[in-house]
Amino acid sequence: MNDRVALVTGGSRGIGRAVATRLASDGFSVVVGYAGNADKAASVVAEISSAGRNAIAARADVADETAVTAMFDLAEQTYGGLDVVVHAAGIVGLAPLADMDLAVLDRVVRTNLRGTFVVDQQAVRRVRRGGAIINLSSSIVGLAFPAYGAYAATKGGVEALTLILARELRGRDVTVNAVAPGPTATDLFLKGKDEEAVARLAAQPPLERLGTPHDVAEVVAFLAGPAGRWVNGQVLRVNGGIV
C-alpha cells in the first residue's frame, strides 16, 4: 500500500491522530486535516515523517465547503490522488435537552452533521476505485446517555448518511462504513469527568476498561486495507461489548 493516500480529518489529536499514524505505518501517505491547532498537526506530521513515511498537514473547517475543497485539492496536488478518507473531526456539546443552548446545538450540528456531508461529498468525487470512506460515529447513538442529545442526534445522522452513501456508490468499488467508538480515553472524552465518573464508564464493558484511540485506529485500518474490502454499508460498534 506504499502508493496509497489517506486523508484524515481531526487528525491532530485523539482518535484522528491514532488513525493517521496507524495508516502511515501501513504505508499510506497521509494528509493530516486539522481545524485550529497547527502545532499539534505539525507534531503528527513530524512523528510520521520520522518513521520514514510521507505526511502533510492541511487546515480546514470541515463544514466550510471552500476550505474542504482546498484540502482535497492539496492532497491530490501533493500525492496524485486519494484512496481513503477518514472523517474523524467532531465536537461535543453536553446538556439536557431542556437546558441546551441552541447556539451550541447549531455548532454541534454544523460541525458533526454538515461537516460529514461536506467531507463525504468531496470524498465521493475524489476517492479512486478500490478506496474507502470511513466516518466516525459514536456508540452513544445506542447507549442514549442523558445530556448527549445533541451529539447523539448528529451521530445518528452520520450513520444514516453512511448507509445511504454506500448504496449510492454502487459500481464504484468504493466502500463506505462508519466506526462507532464507545467511551474512549481521549482528552475530549475525559474533560470535565471526575475519577468516579471515569471508573463507572470503564466498568460498563465486559472487558472492564475504557477504549483507547489505538483500539479504534486498528478497526479503521482494517476497513481501509485489503482485508476489509467485503465490509460495506456497515456501522461497527467499537466499544468492548457495551449493550
* Amino acid of residue 10: G
From 34, 79, 148, 151, active-site residue = 151
Catalytic residue at 151?
A: yes
- Say if residues 187 and 203 touch (Cβ distance below 8 Å): no
Q: Which three cell numbers stand for residue 150?
A: 445533541
Q: Are 179 and 238 in contact (CB under 8 A)?
A: yes
- The single-letter DSSP state of residue 131 is E
Q: Tell which residue, 177, 173, 92, has the closest CA to residue 128.
A: 173
Hey, what's the cell of 146?
442523558
Cα dihedral across residues 169, 222, 34, 111: positive or negative? positive
d(CA 23, CA 113): 25
Q: Looking at residue 99, what DSSP letter applies?
A: G
Cβ neighbours for 199, distance < 8 A, ≥ 6 positions apart:
none
Report how far apart, in Å, the C-alpha atoms of 234 and of each of 55, 158, 190 are: 29, 12, 28
> What does DSSP assign to residue 11?
T
Active site residues: 151
